[in-house]
Amino acid sequence: MEYTIFRPHNVFGPNQNISDPYRNVVGIFMSKALQKLPMPIFGDGLQSRSFSYINIVAECIASAPFINAAHNQTFNIGSDEQMNVKTLAEKISTIFQTPLQIQWLPERKEVTHAHCNHSKAKKVFSVAYAKNITITDGLTLMADSIFNKSIPPITECPSAIEIYDLLPPSWLLRFKK
Protein backbone atom coordinates (compact mmCIF):
# COMPACT_ATOMS: atom_id res chain seq x y z
CA MET A 1 0.00 0.00 0.00
CA GLU A 2 1.40 3.40 -0.95
CA TYR A 3 1.27 6.34 1.43
CA THR A 4 2.31 9.96 1.80
CA ILE A 5 2.74 11.47 5.25
CA PHE A 6 2.43 15.21 5.78
CA ARG A 7 3.56 17.17 8.83
CA PRO A 8 1.85 20.57 8.40
CA HIS A 9 3.08 23.52 10.45
CA ASN A 10 1.00 26.32 11.98
CA VAL A 11 -1.68 26.29 9.29
CA PHE A 12 -4.30 29.04 9.13
CA GLY A 13 -6.96 30.22 6.71
CA PRO A 14 -10.67 30.73 6.02
CA ASN A 15 -13.15 28.46 7.83
CA GLN A 16 -10.70 27.84 10.66
CA ASN A 17 -12.28 27.55 14.10
CA ILE A 18 -11.66 30.95 15.68
CA SER A 19 -13.40 29.94 18.91
CA ASP A 20 -10.85 27.42 20.16
CA PRO A 21 -9.05 29.13 23.07
CA TYR A 22 -6.25 26.52 23.22
CA ARG A 23 -5.02 25.96 19.67
CA ASN A 24 -3.91 28.12 16.76
CA VAL A 25 -2.82 31.57 17.77
CA VAL A 26 -4.02 33.15 14.50
CA GLY A 27 -7.62 32.12 15.18
CA ILE A 28 -7.38 33.11 18.84
CA PHE A 29 -6.05 36.58 17.96
CA MET A 30 -8.65 37.14 15.23
CA SER A 31 -11.47 36.17 17.57
CA LYS A 32 -10.18 38.63 20.18
CA ALA A 33 -9.76 41.39 17.56
CA LEU A 34 -13.35 40.89 16.36
CA GLN A 35 -14.55 41.25 19.94
CA LYS A 36 -12.19 44.19 20.57
CA LEU A 37 -10.62 42.25 23.45
CA PRO A 38 -6.93 41.92 24.38
CA MET A 39 -4.95 39.20 22.61
CA PRO A 40 -3.33 36.77 25.08
CA ILE A 41 0.45 36.46 24.74
CA PHE A 42 2.52 34.14 26.92
CA GLY A 43 5.90 35.53 27.95
CA ASP A 44 7.50 38.31 25.92
CA GLY A 45 5.84 37.46 22.59
CA LEU A 46 9.17 36.91 20.85
CA GLN A 47 8.56 33.20 20.33
CA SER A 48 8.39 32.63 16.57
CA ARG A 49 6.68 30.28 14.17
CA SER A 50 6.47 29.75 10.42
CA PHE A 51 2.77 30.39 9.86
CA SER A 52 1.42 28.62 6.77
CA TYR A 53 -1.57 29.76 4.76
CA ILE A 54 -3.82 26.79 3.92
CA ASN A 55 -3.48 26.96 0.12
CA ILE A 56 -0.07 25.24 -0.09
CA VAL A 57 -0.97 22.58 2.45
CA ALA A 58 -4.29 21.76 0.76
CA GLU A 59 -2.82 21.63 -2.74
CA CYS A 60 0.06 19.38 -1.69
CA ILE A 61 -2.28 16.94 0.03
CA ALA A 62 -4.74 16.93 -2.89
CA SER A 63 -2.04 16.38 -5.51
CA ALA A 64 0.03 13.76 -3.65
CA PRO A 65 -1.72 10.69 -5.12
CA PHE A 66 -0.88 11.92 -8.62
CA ILE A 67 2.83 12.66 -8.05
CA ASN A 68 5.04 9.57 -8.12
CA ALA A 69 7.82 11.29 -6.17
CA ALA A 70 5.38 11.76 -3.25
CA HIS A 71 4.62 8.06 -2.85
CA ASN A 72 5.96 6.44 0.33
CA GLN A 73 7.47 9.72 1.51
CA THR A 74 7.13 12.02 4.52
CA PHE A 75 7.04 15.80 4.09
CA ASN A 76 7.25 18.81 6.34
CA ILE A 77 4.78 21.15 4.71
CA GLY A 78 4.12 24.82 5.14
CA SER A 79 5.85 28.15 4.93
CA ASP A 80 9.42 29.20 5.57
CA GLU A 81 8.36 32.78 6.41
CA GLN A 82 8.87 33.40 10.12
CA MET A 83 7.05 35.77 12.45
CA ASN A 84 7.03 36.26 16.21
CA VAL A 85 3.77 36.22 18.15
CA LYS A 86 3.94 39.91 19.12
CA THR A 87 4.32 40.95 15.47
CA LEU A 88 1.44 38.63 14.56
CA ALA A 89 -0.76 40.46 17.12
CA GLU A 90 0.29 43.82 15.66
CA LYS A 91 -0.54 42.72 12.09
CA ILE A 92 -3.94 41.35 13.08
CA SER A 93 -4.71 44.57 14.97
CA THR A 94 -3.87 46.56 11.85
CA ILE A 95 -5.97 44.33 9.57
CA PHE A 96 -8.95 44.57 11.93
CA GLN A 97 -8.39 48.32 12.36
CA THR A 98 -8.52 48.00 16.12
CA PRO A 99 -6.07 49.33 18.73
CA LEU A 100 -3.44 46.78 19.73
CA GLN A 101 -4.42 45.32 23.10
CA ILE A 102 -2.32 42.58 24.65
CA GLN A 103 -3.05 40.52 27.73
CA TRP A 104 0.45 39.59 28.90
CA LEU A 105 0.42 36.17 30.52
CA PRO A 106 3.21 34.33 32.35
CA GLU A 107 5.67 32.53 30.12
CA ARG A 108 4.69 28.93 29.47
CA LYS A 109 6.82 25.92 28.75
CA GLU A 110 7.00 25.89 24.95
CA VAL A 111 9.48 25.86 22.12
CA THR A 112 10.76 29.41 21.60
CA HIS A 113 11.35 29.13 17.85
CA ALA A 114 9.51 26.41 15.91
CA HIS A 115 10.48 26.17 12.26
CA CYS A 116 11.27 23.31 9.94
CA ASN A 117 12.81 22.64 6.58
CA HIS A 118 10.30 22.41 3.73
CA SER A 119 12.87 22.00 0.91
CA LYS A 120 11.83 18.42 0.13
CA ALA A 121 8.17 19.45 -0.21
CA LYS A 122 9.13 22.48 -2.32
CA LYS A 123 10.95 20.23 -4.77
CA VAL A 124 8.22 17.58 -5.10
CA PHE A 125 5.26 19.98 -4.93
CA SER A 126 6.81 22.89 -6.83
CA VAL A 127 3.49 23.80 -8.49
CA ALA A 128 1.84 24.29 -5.08
CA TYR A 129 4.79 26.23 -3.65
CA ALA A 130 4.79 28.54 -6.68
CA LYS A 131 1.44 29.82 -5.36
CA ASN A 132 2.88 30.85 -1.99
CA ILE A 133 0.86 33.45 -0.10
CA THR A 134 2.71 35.58 2.47
CA ILE A 135 1.64 35.56 6.10
CA THR A 136 0.31 39.12 5.82
CA ASP A 137 -1.69 38.39 2.66
CA GLY A 138 -3.00 35.16 4.20
CA LEU A 139 -4.07 37.01 7.36
CA THR A 140 -5.97 39.51 5.21
CA LEU A 141 -7.69 36.72 3.25
CA MET A 142 -8.67 34.93 6.46
CA ALA A 143 -9.93 38.16 8.03
CA ASP A 144 -12.00 38.95 4.93
CA SER A 145 -13.64 35.54 5.26
CA ILE A 146 -14.74 36.13 8.88
CA PHE A 147 -15.57 39.85 9.05
CA ASN A 148 -19.28 39.34 8.42
CA LYS A 149 -19.75 36.07 10.26
CA SER A 150 -20.84 35.61 13.84
CA ILE A 151 -18.32 34.18 16.26
CA PRO A 152 -19.24 30.60 17.17
CA PRO A 153 -19.42 29.57 20.85
CA ILE A 154 -16.11 28.76 22.54
CA THR A 155 -14.83 25.28 21.78
CA GLU A 156 -14.27 23.67 25.14
CA CYS A 157 -11.61 21.07 25.78
CA PRO A 158 -12.93 17.86 24.19
CA SER A 159 -11.98 15.55 27.06
CA ALA A 160 -11.09 15.53 30.72
CA ILE A 161 -7.64 16.82 31.61
CA GLU A 162 -5.71 14.40 33.79
CA ILE A 163 -2.38 16.18 34.18
CA TYR A 164 -2.49 19.80 35.23
CA ASP A 165 1.22 20.25 36.07
CA LEU A 166 2.39 22.15 32.98
CA LEU A 167 -0.81 23.89 31.93
CA PRO A 168 -0.65 27.68 31.80
CA PRO A 169 -2.45 29.30 34.77
CA SER A 170 -4.95 30.97 32.40
CA TRP A 171 -5.99 27.52 31.15
CA LEU A 172 -6.19 26.09 34.67
CA LEU A 173 -8.80 28.69 35.58
CA ARG A 174 -11.00 27.47 32.74
CA PHE A 175 -10.68 23.76 33.65
CA LYS A 176 -11.30 24.07 37.38
CA LYS A 177 -14.72 25.71 37.10
Q: For residue 87, what pLDDT is reported?
A: 98
User: Residue 30 in contact with residue 146, Cβ under 8 Å?
Assistant: yes
Residue 170 has pLDDT above 70, yes or no: no
Q: Which residue has the higher pLDDT, 136 or 152?
A: 136
Minimum mean pLDDT among 20-34, 100-114, 150-164: which range?
Answer: 150-164
Q: What is the pLDDT of residues 81-109, one digit of tens each?
A: 999 999 999 999 999 999 999 999 999 88
Residue 173 pLDDT level (bands cut at 50, 70, 90): low
Mean pLDDT of the chain: 89
Buried b (16+ CB within 10 A) or exposed e, 95-117: bbebeeebeeeeeeeeeeeebee
pLDDT beyond 60 at 47: yes
Query: DSSP E strands: which ranges in the chain?
Result: 4-8, 11-12, 39-42, 48-49, 52-53, 73-77, 83-84, 102-105, 113-114
* Count of residues in the chain: 177
- Residue 163, pLDDT score: 62
Tens-place pLDDT, residues 6-19: 999 999 999 898 98
Identify the architecture of domain 4-175 in CATH.
3-Layer(aba) Sandwich (3.40)
Q: Are 164 and 175 in contact (CB under 8 A)?
A: yes
The pLDDT tens digits for 100-149 are 999 999 998 888 898 889 999 999 999 999 998 999 999 999 999 998 77
At a CB cut-off of 8 Å and minimum separation 6, what does 5 contact?
73, 74, 75
